[in-house]
């Protein structure tokens, strides 16, 4: 018997062994996110994804993909490709059955991959970009035996770049010529050509390259250069956008960004302050200013538009922008349906929306809430009023007051009024009640205030306004007379009521004509009056209060969170339609990304912490990728705006992860440190020449076997020209300026504003200070691919058009610059050739070649003879400038004009 | 090992070719000094197609993003003139004749119609408003056209009417964006940009997509209505102004005469081509191209944009007055531009927003004046295109961004001083004429009140699909990769309106 | 980690099932053969039945595991599953009966064993068709036998194609309706795969209808299920064809509707059925899709094209990948007829030639004779007078000729009379247009233009 047992056992063992071997000895696992997902996205997802789920089948989420489909069979049977409908349908010959439906079939390769994947159990992988950034384990020893210079040891960036180069049989180009390198790094960091001093120190070898970089990073121009990049993301502009597109004062935010860059504000702080500065513990004025980031959304003043609709539009834009800027994720699609490609669900979009849906701004004409910047005098008044309030009332009262002074919240806007009788919302903006008119202002919580503040204007005296609780029969809460006045905020005694009530507002003024508004009211607010009425000097205090209230001060739209009694509910919008409310949602961050820390408050501030949490997989990667793109003209992930599963396979994942990790942990989010790390790399310092062979191998410079060579940005083009011609004003900050612009550019509906050329220096300020009108931005910037800043733009597409030539050839700004450059040349030497050589050198930081000099001198001679023959031309040329020109100077101007148009000048070497 | 050998050989070969080519450039550069600036690149053998000789197979497009491409399907037309009446004319006063509405004049509008509808200004229950114009039938097709358009009505048999167009945006800005970019939100390329991107431009001295505005204002949605969205900005509409220099910075700086300017550009291009030898960056070749085109544009554009020298009979036909900004002038310019091979000409005429809030927006006053200003020019344009044989391969589209309500506007519940109509999305009229269009047809009908279409309803995307079809595109396959997914003009909708195709 | 065990066991189902089959057959065999004194087999029978039960249960378990782990839909396996379980149960029952009665000659036992046998067969067959596919057995049969079983391979069907001139004779059902069904319905309603028991393949089957009764109502077409289902809203679950399938064109729907409305005739032709032209117009095989000649030409190489381009011509294929070419001198104002030689060797391919605003003169027509496929020729704003037009008769495909603002006079215009294809000539602002053109007869349409718009009083009224 035992023998038999033994054999039995043996056989069982054998069977198990075989089974085990079969299951575990699976060579070359298919990787889902790099091999399978792309195929699904390419061929299947358009019909079986977030938008459509044909046949009840979707390959968007694991559970969907493995679930039973309409037909009752699961399309994917893990481990059993042959019986998986998904595979079967790929082989079908009946065109009605064969997938992709009525499209060309998959390649055998693709089918094989899917087959293998299902065989291996159809494991769902997570896209690399959604895994937290891990500390990279690299030993700086070359991984493979390269065919060239494998002896060299590279560290950091260069190491990773070099590894890839070897895979592609490429290698580094030599280092760029020192002056060109100087020009490159200077334009990249400061947006300007280097100063004389810096040139000397560098060329005389007084400073090392690293010191050079530090000098550049320390200069205040650094902030100005990088601000214009960030402002594209922040969709910063000086007008509100949409139809009327009138001006708004936003520039204080622009200045904040410049300062933030210059003082190297760590990126996490930088983020938190812009997203939720107002929610930080007793925020500073600057932290309030930072929140203007999300007040850059457009504001629609067009008559007949419903404010709520555009408030919602703004909120959604904030969600989309936040995710594009910090997560390189296009959320816009999730607005209407689950994301077609990335693991974000429809409701998750609105859970994010919930974070942003509770700010006070309501697309009102006055763009409240706005931070108010008081003059010294007013500030004194405020302190005295506050101290009075504090001493006679209590702390809380004083704080409420100070908030109200700072940003006038909380208040109820007129557009909340409804059920008009003999009344209207004037141009859908202001409450206008006619004689014997009335309306309701519902769900008002006065917090038991004994005083109502109201901003209004009126063309008539003696309008009696009565406010009752509930309705026409309700108890009178306040009754007063409105007289003729320009816009003013006044206070009226108000009967204490508690809880949320409906106000019935009624006016009478027989003097007014029928259907004529007695007044135009902007908002109502309920603020306790100063206590200590009995006290000596109360009246003065009260007057101070009102004078501050009505003092005209500079303002800036900012974010202020709704107080508890004004909280809005957030709903899913069915099919993205804001009128179709689905189930209610609470603030929550997407599943696919990093976990939520319960200690964070469940609002914008929490969201900001979540974004800047070191566990967040996308924030640092996104930022590093963008900076890299700024310096190399191409991101490590080329689709800058989207790092999701659709983005093309990144060329250097390890490098991206390495930099991202260090950016957070080693560099503590220091933007300057990051930029420095990149620009001191060998990779950055290479020559940018392209040999035909090299071009063949790598047209887009994907493997960085040469330095970056990119046309300068709109801002750089202008700033550089002004710099080399010595016209550039280094004045910083302040309201947008209006340099020369041809007439008749500004043509907007219902908008009296016009372009008034700035005086003196302001004509020649750096581009970042140029007034930007969304519906018609500064023409020459647009021509050089700058945007209109209506929505967040994370990458400008560099184009090359004849209109650009026209700008640099004919725009008076550039002619003027040419003239001033010519003067500089003229001073250098009387000998034209020398003068031209100097001019050329100032512009290119490179000595002129014999050929170039030959051509330009030729041009000079031709121009000279021309001007000698017909000097009247000179006078016309002079009209651009003030002084009288000599033929020589004229000729030099023409030459300068040519120099300023050379490709080398318009391009980063 | 073998690798390196190959590498070296290629390098050497390339070096030699560059040398020879360089000398070549130099001596044509010499040539060029004097005589007219003929296409430097091509004539000097580094034209697009020859660059592959020097080891880079560059497409025509790499050097000139506007270079023409053949359409994927046989096109009916090669250019489009789009007449956009910004503000939206009232179909009920022009083409959509509703005798019933006369009966119901001043009757309150049936609640059933208003249910779930939103209007820009109308509040509560407005009254219906009968047509303010006299209608009569015209041509063999017997199309109903009002006496507001005496000239155009003679051409009834040349156009195809779409009587039941509908949109879903009732504010000007979004609606105009929707009409021209296929999306009410910003950031999508306009129809014209798509077309220039797809077909380029045949005339290498003119932009492919020209925009002309009249009525003293640009459209409400601003320049994004002809913007290139996520397409390279080279494809955006070039606004030609009828006052000042037609294209910004087109004029040479005073004091730098033409011939001198020519030498400036020649010198620039000579140095740039030498620079190409040094850097080998194809972008430089592109730039050389652009400077040439800029120079040619400086000659060609003012020529085309100048209507002073047009013969008398043309001025009489169009009713043009040189020197002043007018829709008539723009119509004439449109013809000249198309004649010169411009791909897409977009005309915006502002001032059709007939709310009745004042005289200029009253249906019986302001609207009539707008009609008078445009009736002759539009008719003239059609006739002129016809007699020159241009209508054979040109498509003319007329329309607003939406329609107007059968109800009289009662702004915020107030009765208005003048007769006006509010914005209306459910039904309005557009027409098309020209190549591939079935002449003298009318497609779609609206209910007795003209409130919404009962049959032959077409959407904005349908219209876009049809225009693309006529130009030789399948609107579903004509896409551009952005944010990792293919975008198209008609988003996920759009059906070709076969009923109006010849 | 070891979660593969379950599916693994499941996968043994196909093997295990053969054990009960074997044992049960064995048992039945022993029970009914040989005829005589089976009683002596009783122990053997009992053992056989016992093992049948055990293995049957095992089979069921493994079967269930397979079903759960392989994502089969219940609907597909239910019969096999139920029968399988039933078999096991009956087997058990039989075992105890036999054990109890110690005989096999009771009617109960006979009945049960009969059932057992039957169920075994059915279960086995169903199992088989699950693993090997429904048509496993039929496949091997000869074609005719197959079709007897209602199986046919997949076949292509042509869409409706009507001759523009003789469409009336086409048969309504055979040439129009059946093709519509073939295009839109057949893939689910054929013998092989008749969803809802409906076959839309022949008169008989159509009239027969589906398992929910007829699809064509004699009384009125609105009542006809056929039309009703096809016109339901797309999202409606009864909509046909199903949402995700290709949908019929609205023209097709119209025709089906009309067919039903006219009493679903199977023999009538379109004329008899009173079908109007616009109903079928969309299905005409357009005798001429494009005005350009349909000729097979070798396409011109890019090298050649670029050479021509470098000369200043604008040249590109008419359509992507077409061998027909479009040539224009829009960027080549200095062109004169000599430059035409550059095009000689590709003259065949050129169907569109625009020489407007160039320096050509009448010599050009002589050189144009080799351009035999030339369809559209534009000579606007040139100095040609038209002497030499007669050569254009050689361009037998010429359809449009543009002569706006040229020196062409009536006399020369007459030279074009009798041109085989020429349809339209544009002669606005030519001497011809000024002369008394109306007297002349042309074999083609001539556009002299000179349109004017009357001056109306309203032109000057401001309201």
What pLDDT does residue A141 have? Answer: 66
A274/A265 Cα distance (integer angstroms): 12
| E-assigned strand segments in C299-339 | 314-317, 325-328
Please report the DSSP string for A791-836 in residue order.
S--S-PPP---HHHHHHHHH-HHHHHHHHHHHHHHHHH-SSHHHHH
Q: Which residues of B touch C448 (CB under 8 A)?
A: 387
Closest CA to B109 of B457, B469, B458, B449: B449
Give the residue, A330 or A274, on which the prediction is more confident. A274
For the stretch C6-43, pLDDT in tens is 778 888 888 888 888 998 888 888 888 766 666 777 88
Give A52→chain C minimum CA distance, Å.
Answer: 10
Write the residue in B71, B204, B365 that is nearest to C331 by C-beta.
Answer: B204
Q: Which residues of C touch B341 (CB under 8 A)?
A: 328, 330
Percentage above 90 pLDDT, chain A: 61
For the stretch A536-552, pLDDT in tens is 889 999 999 999 999 99
Give A701→chain B minimum CA distance, Å.
Answer: 11
Give the residue, C66 or A471, on which the prediction is more confident. A471
A675/A424 Cα distance (integer angstroms): 56
Q: Do residues B144 and B136 lie in contact, with contact meaning Cβ atoms separated by under 8 Å?
A: yes
Give the residue, B390 or C124, on which the prediction is more confident. B390
Main-chain phi, psi angles of B108, to 5 degrees: -60, 145
Give B474→chain C minimum CA distance, Å.
Answer: 13
- Among A94-98, A758-762, B88-92, C228-232, the minimum mean pLDDT is found in A94-98
Write the residue in A68, A74, A94 that is nearest to C187 by C-beta.
Answer: A94
Q: How confident is the model at residue B29 (pLDDT cuts 50, 70, 90)?
A: very low
Beta bridge partners of C189: C194
Q: How confident is the model at residue A878 (pLDDT cuts 50, 70, 90)?
A: low
Q: Which chains pack against C, by 3+ Cβ pairs within 8 A? A: A, B
B348/B84 Cα distance (integer angstroms): 5
Nearest residue of B to residue A795, measured between CA atoms: B230
Q: Which residues of A touch C76 (CB under 8 A)?
A: 72-73
What pLDDT does residue A20 have? Answer: 59
- Among A572-586, B42-56, C227-241, the minimum mean pLDDT is found in B42-56
Closest CA to B483 of A345, A340, A60: A340
For the stretch C218-228, pLDDT in tens is 667 777 888 88
- CB contact under 8 Å between A94 and C74, yes or no, is no
Beta bridge partners of A800: none
Give the residue, B13 or A829, on which the prediction is more confident. A829
**Residue A541 belongs to what H/E stretch?**
helix A538-550
Chain C interface, best mutation among A52, A85, A94, by max C CB count within 10 A: A94
A293/B85 Cα distance (integer angstroms): 37
Give A620→chain B minimum CA distance, Å.
Answer: 20
Mean pLDDT score, B287-311: 90
Q: Which residues of B touch A775 (CB under 8 A)?
A: 218, 222-224
Give B56→chain A minimum CA distance, Å.
Answer: 6
- pLDDT tops 60 at residue A571: yes
- CB contact under 8 Å between A304 and B121, yes or no, is yes
Both tokens of residue B312?
């008398």
Closest CA to B363 of B85, B10, B81, B92: B92
Beta bridge partners of A452: A492, A526
Give the residue, A276 or A885, on which the prediction is more confident. A276
Q: Do residues A905 and A844 lie in contact, with contact meaning Cβ atoms separated by under 8 Å?
A: yes
Main-chain phi, psi angles of A508, to 5 degrees: -135, 130
Percentage above 70 pLDDT, chain C: 90
**Side-chain half-sphere exposure of A65, counting CA atoms within 13 A:** 22
- CB contact under 8 Å between C72 and A73, yes or no, is yes
3-state secondary structure of A887: helix
Give Dmax over CA atoms of chain A in angstroms.
Answer: 126
Nearest residue of C to residue A121, measured between CA atoms: C4
Mean pLDDT score, A48-64: 75
Both tokens of residue A54?
């044909």
Q: Which residues of C touch A97 (CB under 8 A)?
A: 187
C3 part of contact set with chain A, CB < 8 Å? no
Its sign, for the CA torsion A708, A713, A715, A716, is positive
Q: Which residues of B touch C402 (CB under 8 A)?
A: 389
For the stretch C324-341, pLDDT in tens is 999 999 888 888 888 888
What pLDDT does residue A268 have? Answer: 96
Q: Which residues of B touch A858 (CB under 8 A)?
A: 33, 263, 267
For the stretch A431-450, pLDDT in tens is 999 999 999 999 999 999 99
C-beta neighbour count of C168 within 10 angstroms? 15
What pLDDT does residue A821 have? Answer: 95
- pLDDT tops 50 at residue B25: no
- CB contact under 8 Å between B294 and A809, yes or no, is yes
Q: Which residues of B touch C317 (CB under 8 A)?
A: 70
Write the residue in C303, C330, C456 that is nearest to B203 by C-beta.
Answer: C330
For the stretch A74-118, pLDDT in tens is 888 888 888 888 888 888 777 677 788 777 778 888 888 888 888
- pLDDT tops 90 at residue C172: no
Please report the DSSP string for A336-365 in residue order.
TSS-SSSS--HHHHHHHHHHHTTBS----T
Both tokens of residue A210?
């690293």
A520/A415 Cα distance (integer angstroms): 11
What pLDDT does residue A586 have? Answer: 94
What pLDDT does residue B2 have? Answer: 34
Q: Which residues of B touch A300 (CB under 8 A)?
A: 173
What pLDDT does residue A264 have? Answer: 97
C359/C364 Cα distance (integer angstroms): 10
Closest CA to B40 of B286, B282, B366: B286
B80/A264 Cα distance (integer angstroms): 52
Number of A/C CB contacts below 8 angstroms equals 38
Q: Do residues C269 and C172 lie in contact, with contact meaning Cβ atoms separated by under 8 Å?
A: yes
| E-assigned strand segments in A511-567 | 520-526, 555-557
Using the structure block, give the residue that is written with the tokens 């011509």: C313
Interface of A with B in 870-899 (CB under 8 A): 873-880, 890, 894, 897-898
Q: Which residues of B touch C282 (CB under 8 A)?
A: 498
Q: Which residues of C touch A77 (CB under 8 A)?
A: 70-71
B341/B357 Cα distance (integer angstroms): 42
Please report the DSSP string for A455-492 in residue order.
EEEES-S-EEEEEEESSTTSPEEEEEEE-SEEEEEEEE
Both tokens of residue A456?
């209004």
Number of A/B CB contacts below 8 angstroms equals 262
Mean pLDDT score, A572-598: 87
B368/B390 Cα distance (integer angstroms): 30
- CB contact under 8 Å between C306 and B387, yes or no, is no
Both tokens of residue A386?
């506050």
Interface of B with A in 321-360 (CB under 8 A): 350
For the stretch B170-219, pLDDT in tens is 888 889 999 999 988 777 899 999 999 999 988 888 989 999 988 877 77
Percentage above 70 pLDDT, chain A: 92
Give the residue, A898 or C71, on which the prediction is more confident. A898
Please report the DSSP string for B369-417 in residue order.
HHHHHHHHHHHHHHHHHHHTTGGGGEEEEEE-SSEEEEEEP-BTTPPPS
Nearest residue of B to residue A707, measured between CA atoms: B279
Q: How confident is the model at residue B11 (pLDDT cuts 50, 70, 90)?
A: very low
What pLDDT does residue A466 have? Answer: 96
Interface of A with B in 49-108 (CB under 8 A): 51
Mean pLDDT score, A341-358: 88
What pLDDT does residue C299 have? Answer: 83
Average pLDDT, chain A: 88
Q: Which residues of B touch A890 (CB under 8 A)?
A: 255
Q: How confident is the model at residue A684 (pLDDT cuts 50, 70, 90)?
A: very high
- pLDDT tops 70 at residue B114: yes
Nearest residue of B to residue A577, measured between CA atoms: B168
C311 part of contact set with chain A, CB < 8 Å? no
Q: Do residues A811 and A871 lie in contact, with contact meaning Cβ atoms separated by under 8 Å?
A: no
Give A785→chain C minimum CA distance, Å.
Answer: 28
What pLDDT does residue A24 have? Answer: 52
- CB contact under 8 Å between B218 and A696, yes or no, is no
CB-based contacts of B445, cutoff 8 Å, min separation 6: B163, B164, B453, B454, B455, B456
CB-based contacts of A405, cutoff 8 Å, min separation 6: A372, A374, A382, A385, A386, A548, A549
- pLDDT tops 50 at residue B9: no
A368/A35 Cα distance (integer angstroms): 51
Q: Do residues B128 and B406 lie in contact, with contact meaning Cβ atoms separated by under 8 Å?
A: yes
Q: Do residues B333 and B307 lie in contact, with contact meaning Cβ atoms separated by under 8 Å?
A: yes
Length of chain C in terms of residues written = 463
Length of chain B in terms of residues written = 502
Closest CA to A559 of A366, A369, A796, A427: A369
- CB contact under 8 Å between C319 and B205, yes or no, is no
Length of chain A in terms of residues written = 909
C-beta neighbour count of B306 within 10 angstroms? 13
C383/C381 Cα distance (integer angstroms): 7
A402-416, A743-757, B40-54 — which one is most confidently predicted on average? A402-416
B226/A120 Cα distance (integer angstroms): 51
Q: Do residues A521 and A430 lie in contact, with contact meaning Cβ atoms separated by under 8 Å?
A: yes
Distance from the Cα of residue B226 to its chain's centroid: 8
- pLDDT tops 60 at residue B18: no
- CB contact under 8 Å between A73 and C71, yes or no, is yes
Its sign, for the CA torsion C231, C236, C238, C241, is positive
Buried residues in C412-422 as b, exposed as e (16+ CB within 10 A): bbebbeebeeb
Give C181→chain A minimum CA distance, Å.
Answer: 13
Give the residue, B151 or C216, on which the prediction is more confident. B151
C-beta neighbour count of A383 within 10 angstroms? 11
What pLDDT does residue A108 have? Answer: 83
For the stretch B244-293, pLDDT in tens is 788 889 888 888 999 999 999 999 999 998 888 888 888 888 889 889 88
- Among A128-137, A885-894, C396-405, the minimum mean pLDDT is found in A128-137
Interface of B with A in 414-443 (CB under 8 A): 414-415, 423
For residue A260, what are the CA distances in angstroms to A321, A605, A664?
Answer: 20, 19, 18
DSSP at A758: P
Q: How confident is the model at residue B32 (pLDDT cuts 50, 70, 90)?
A: very low
For the stretch C273-331, pLDDT in tens is 888 877 887 777 654 467 888 888 888 888 888 888 888 899 999 998 889 999 999 88
Q: What is the pTM of this model?
A: 0.76
Task: Verify cis geometry, omega within 30 degrees of 0, for the bond prior to A100.
Answer: yes
Both tokens of residue A372?
């108010």
- pLDDT tops 60 at residue B19: no
C-beta neighbour count of B1 within 10 angstroms? 6
Nearest residue of A to residue C185, measured between CA atoms: A96
C-beta neighbour count of C284 within 10 angstroms? 15
Q: Which residues of B touch C331 (CB under 8 A)?
A: 202-205
């Amino acid at each position: 018997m035992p023998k038999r047992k033994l054999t039995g056992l043996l056989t069982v063992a054998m069977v198990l062994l075989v089974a085990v071997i079969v299951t575990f000895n699976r060579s070359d696992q298919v990787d889902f996110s790099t091999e399978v997902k792309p195929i699904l996205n390419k061929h299947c997802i358009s019909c079986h994804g977030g938008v459509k789920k044909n046949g009840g089948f979707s390959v968007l989420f694991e559970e969907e993909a493995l679930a039973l489909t309409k037909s009752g069979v699961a399309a994917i049977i893990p481990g059993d490709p042959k019986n998986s409908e998904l595979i079967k349908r790929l082989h079908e010959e009946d065109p009605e059955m064969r997938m992709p439906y009525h499209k060309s079939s998959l390649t055998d390769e693709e089918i094989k991959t899917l087959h293998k994947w299902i065989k291996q159990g159809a494991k769902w992988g997570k896209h690399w970009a959604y895994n937290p950034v891990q500390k990279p384990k690299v030993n700086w020893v070359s991984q493979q035996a390269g065919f060239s210079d494998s002896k060299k040891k590279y560290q950091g960036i260069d190491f990773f770049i070099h590894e890839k180069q070897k895979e592609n049989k490429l290698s580094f180009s030599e280092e760029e010529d020192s002056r060109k390198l100087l020009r490159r790094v200077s334009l990249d960091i400061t947006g300007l050509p280097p100063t004389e001093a810096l040139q000397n120190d560098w060329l005389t070898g007084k400073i090392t390259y690293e010191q050079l970089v530090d000098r550049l990073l320390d200069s205040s121009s650094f902030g100005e250069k990088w601000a214009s990049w960030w402002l594209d993301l922040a969709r910063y502009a000086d007008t509100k956008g949409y139809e009327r597109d009138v001006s708004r004062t936003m520039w204080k935010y622009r200045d904040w960004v410049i300062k933030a860059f210059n003082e190297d504000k760590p990126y996490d702080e930088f983020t938190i302050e812009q997203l939720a500065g107002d929610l930080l513990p007793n925020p500073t004025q600057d932290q309030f200013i930072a929140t203007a980031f999300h007040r850059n959304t457009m504001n629609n003043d067009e008559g007949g538009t419903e404010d709520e609709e555009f408030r919602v539009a703004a909120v959604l834009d904030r969600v989309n922008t936040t995710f594009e800027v910090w997560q390189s994720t296009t959320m816009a699609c999730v607005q209407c349906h689950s994301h077609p490609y990335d693991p974000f669900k429809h409701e998750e979009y609105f859970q994010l929306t919930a974070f942003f849906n509770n700010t006070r701004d309501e697309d009102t004409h006055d763009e409240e809430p706005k931070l108010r910047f008081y003059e010294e005098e007013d500030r004194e008044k405020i302190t005295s009023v506050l101290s009075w309030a504090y001493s006679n009332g209590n702390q809380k009262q004083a704080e409420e007051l100070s908030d109200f002074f700072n940003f006038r919240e909380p208040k109820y806007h007129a557009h909340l009024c409804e059920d008009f009788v003999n009344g209207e919302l004037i141009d859908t903006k202001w409450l206008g009640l006619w004689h014997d008119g009335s309306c309701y202002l519902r769900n008002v919580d006065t917090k038991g205030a004994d005083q109502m503040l109201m901003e209004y204007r009126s063309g008539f005296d003696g309008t009696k306004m009565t406010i009752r609780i509930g309705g026409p029969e309700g108890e009178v809460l306040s009754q007063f007379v409105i007289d003729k006045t320009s816009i003013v905020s006044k206070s009226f005694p108000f009967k204490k009521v508690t809880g949320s009530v409906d106000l019935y507002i009624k006016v009478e003024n027989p003097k007014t004509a029928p259907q004529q508004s007695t007044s135009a009211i902007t908002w109502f607010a309920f603020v306790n009056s100063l206590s200590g009425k009995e006290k000596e000097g109360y009246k003065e205090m009260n007057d101070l209060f009102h004078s501050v209230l009505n003092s005209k001060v500079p303002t800036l739209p900012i974010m202020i969170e709704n107080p508890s009694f004004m909280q809005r509910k957030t709903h899913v919008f069915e099919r993205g339609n804001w009128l179709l409310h689905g189930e209610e949602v609470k603030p929550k961050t997407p599943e696919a990304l990093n976990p939520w820390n319960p200690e964070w408050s469940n609002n914008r501030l929490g969201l900001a912490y979540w974004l800047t949490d070191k566990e967040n997989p996308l924030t640092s990667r996104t930022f590093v990728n963008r900076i890299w793109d700024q310096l190399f003209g191409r991101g490590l992930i080329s689709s800058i705006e989207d790092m999701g599963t659709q983005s093309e396979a990144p060329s250097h994942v390890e490098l991206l992860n390495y930099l991202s990790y260090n950016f957070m942990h080693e560099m503590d989010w220091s933007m300057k440190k990051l930029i420095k790390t990149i620009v001191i790399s060998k990779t950055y310092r290479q020559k940018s020449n392209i040999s035909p062979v090299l071009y063949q191998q790598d047209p887009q410079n994907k493997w960085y076997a040469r330095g970056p060579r990119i046309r300068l940005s709109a801002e750089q083009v202008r700033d550089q020209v002004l710099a080399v011609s010595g016209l550039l004003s280094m004045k910083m900050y302040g309201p947008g300026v209006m340099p020369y612009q041809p007439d008749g550019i500004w043509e907007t509906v219902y908008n009296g504003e016009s372009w008034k050329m700035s005086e003196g220096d302001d004509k020649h300020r750096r581009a970042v200070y140029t007034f930007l009108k969304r519906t018609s931005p500064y023409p020459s910037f647009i021509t050089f691919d700058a945007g209109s800043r209506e929505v967040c733009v994370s990458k400008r597409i560099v184009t090359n058009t004849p209109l650009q030539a026209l700008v640099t050839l004919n725009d008076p700004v550039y002619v003027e610059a040419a003239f001033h450059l010519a003067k500089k040349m003229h001073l250098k030497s009387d000998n034209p050739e020398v003068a031209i050589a100097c001019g050329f050198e100032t512009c290119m930081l490179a000595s002129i070649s014999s050929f170039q000099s030959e051509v330009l001198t030729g041009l000079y001679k031709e121009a000279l003879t021309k001007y000698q023959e017909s000097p009247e031309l000179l006078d016309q040329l002079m009209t651009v400038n003030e002084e009288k020109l000599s033929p020589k100077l004229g000729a030099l101007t023409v030459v300068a004009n040519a120099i300023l148009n050379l490709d080398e000048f318009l391009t980063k070497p | 090992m073998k690798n390196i050998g190959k590498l070296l050989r290629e390098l050497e070969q390339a070096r030699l070719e560059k040398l020879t080519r360089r000398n070549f450039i130099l001596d044509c550069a010499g040539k060029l000094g004097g005589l007219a600036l003929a296409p430097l690149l091509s004539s000097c053998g580094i034209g697009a197609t020859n660059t592959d000789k020097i080891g880079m197979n560059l497409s025509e497009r790499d050097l000139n993003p506007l270079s023409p491409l053949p359409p994927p399907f046989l096109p009916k037309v090669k250019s489009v003139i789009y007449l956009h009446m910004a503000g939206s004319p009232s179909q009920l006063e022009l083409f959509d004749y509703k005798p019933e509405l006369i009966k119901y004049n001043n009757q309150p509008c049936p609640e059933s119609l208003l249910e779930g509808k939103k209007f820009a200004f109308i509040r509560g229950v407005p009254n219906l408003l009968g047509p303010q114009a006299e209608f009569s039938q015209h041509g063999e097709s017997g199309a109903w056209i009002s006496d507001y358009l005496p000239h155009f009505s003679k051409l009834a048999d040349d156009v195809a009417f779409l009587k039941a167009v509908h949109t879903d945006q009732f504010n000007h800005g979004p609606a105009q964006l929707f009409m021209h970019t296929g999306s009410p939100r910003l950031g999508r390329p306009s129809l014209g940009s798509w077309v220039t991107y797809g077909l380029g431009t045949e005339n290498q001295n003119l932009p492919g997509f020209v925009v002309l505005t009249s009525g003293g204002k640009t459209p409400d949605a601003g320049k994004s209505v002809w913007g290139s969205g996520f397409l390279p900005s080279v494809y955006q509409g070039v606004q030609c102004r009828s006052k000042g220099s037609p294209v910004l910075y087109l004029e040479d700086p005073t004091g730098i005469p033409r011939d001198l300017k020519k030498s400036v550009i020649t010198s620039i291009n000579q140095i740039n081509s030498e620079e190409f030898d040094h850097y080998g960056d194809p972008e430089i070749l592109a730039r050389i191209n652009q400077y040439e085109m800029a120079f040619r544009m400086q000659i060609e554009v003012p020529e085309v944009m100048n209507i002073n020298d047009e013969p008398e009979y043309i001025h009489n036909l169009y009713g043009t007055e040189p020197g002043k900004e007018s829709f008539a002038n723009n119509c004439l310019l449109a013809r000249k531009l198309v004649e010169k091979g411009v791909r897409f000409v977009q005309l915006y005429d502002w001032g059709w927003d007939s709310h009745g809030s004042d005289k200029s927006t009253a249906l019986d006053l302001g609207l009539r004046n707008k009609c008078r200003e445009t009736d002759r020019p539009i008719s003239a344009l059609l006739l002129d295109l016809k007699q020159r044989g241009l209508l054979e391969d040109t498509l003319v589209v007329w329309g607003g961004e939406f329609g107007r309500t059968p109800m009289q506007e009662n702004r915020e519940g107030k009765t208005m001083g003048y007769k006006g109509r509010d914005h209306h999305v459910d039904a309005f009229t557009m027409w098309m004429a020209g190549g591939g269009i079935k002449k003298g047809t009318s497609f779609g009908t609206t209910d007795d009140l003209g409130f919404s279409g009962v049959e032959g309803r077409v959407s904005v995307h349908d219209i876009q699909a049809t225009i693309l079809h006529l130009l030789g595109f399948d609107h579903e396959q004509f896409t551009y990769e952005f944010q990792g997914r293919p975008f198209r003009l008609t988003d996920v909708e759009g059906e070709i309106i076969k009923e109006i195709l010849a | 980690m070891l979660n593969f065990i379950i599916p693994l066991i499941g996968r043994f189902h196909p093997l295990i099932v053969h054990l009960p089959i074997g044992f049960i057959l064995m048992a039945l065999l022993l029970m009914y053969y040989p005829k005589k004194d089976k009683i002596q087999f009783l122990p053997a029978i009992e053992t056989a039945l016992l093992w049948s039960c055990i293995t049957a249960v095992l089979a069921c378990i493994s079967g269930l595991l397979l079903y759960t782990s392989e994502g089969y839909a219940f609907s597909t396996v239910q019969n096999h599953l139920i029968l399988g379980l039933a078999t096991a149960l009956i087997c058990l029952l039989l075992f105890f009966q036999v054990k109890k009665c110690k005989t096999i000659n009771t009617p109960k036992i006979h009945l049960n064993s009969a059932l057992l046998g039957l169920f075994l067969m059915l279960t086995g067959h169903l199992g088989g068709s699950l693993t090997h596919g429904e048509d496993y057995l039929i496949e091997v049969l000869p074609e005719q036998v197959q079709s007897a079983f209602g199986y046919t391979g997949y076949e292509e069907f042509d869409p409706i194609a009507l001759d523009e001139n003789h469409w009336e004779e086409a048969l309504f059902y055979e040439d129009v309706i059946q093709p519509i069904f073939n295009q839109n319905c057949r893939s689910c309603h054929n013998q092989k795969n008749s969803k809802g028991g409906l076959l839309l393949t022949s008169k008989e089957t159509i009239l027969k209808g589906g398992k929910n009764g007829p699809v064509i109502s004699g009384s009125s077409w609105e009542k006809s299920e056929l039309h009703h289902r096809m016109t339901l809203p797309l999202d409606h679950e009864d909509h046909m064809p199903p949402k995700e399938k290709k949908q019929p064109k609205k023209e097709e729907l119209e025709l089906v509707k009309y067919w039903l409305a006219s009493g679903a005739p199977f023999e009538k032709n379109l004329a008899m059925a009173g079908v109007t032209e616009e109903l079928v117009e969309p299905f005409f095989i357009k005798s001429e899709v494009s005005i350009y000649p349909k000729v097979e030409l070798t396409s011109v190489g890019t090298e050649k094209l670029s050479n021509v381009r470098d000369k200043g011509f604008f040249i590109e294929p008419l359509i992507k990948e077409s061998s027909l070419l479009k040539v224009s001198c829009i960027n080549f104002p200095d062109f004169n007829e000599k430059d035409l030689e550059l095009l000689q060797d590709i003259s065949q391919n050129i169907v569109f030639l625009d020489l407007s605003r160039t320096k050509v003169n009448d010599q050009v027509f002589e050189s144009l004779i080799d351009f035999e496929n030339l369809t559209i020729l534009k000579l606007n704003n040139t100095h040609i007078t038209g002497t030499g037009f007669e050569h254009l008769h050689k361009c037998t495909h010429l359809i449009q000729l543009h002569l706006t603002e040229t020196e062409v006079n009536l006399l020369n215009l007459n030279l074009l009379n009798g041109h085989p294809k020429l349809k339209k000539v544009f002669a606005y602002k030519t001497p011809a247009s000024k002369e008394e053109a109306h007297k002349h007869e042309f074999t083609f349409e001539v556009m002299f233009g000179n349109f004017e718009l009357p001056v109306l009083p309203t032109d000057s009224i401001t309201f």
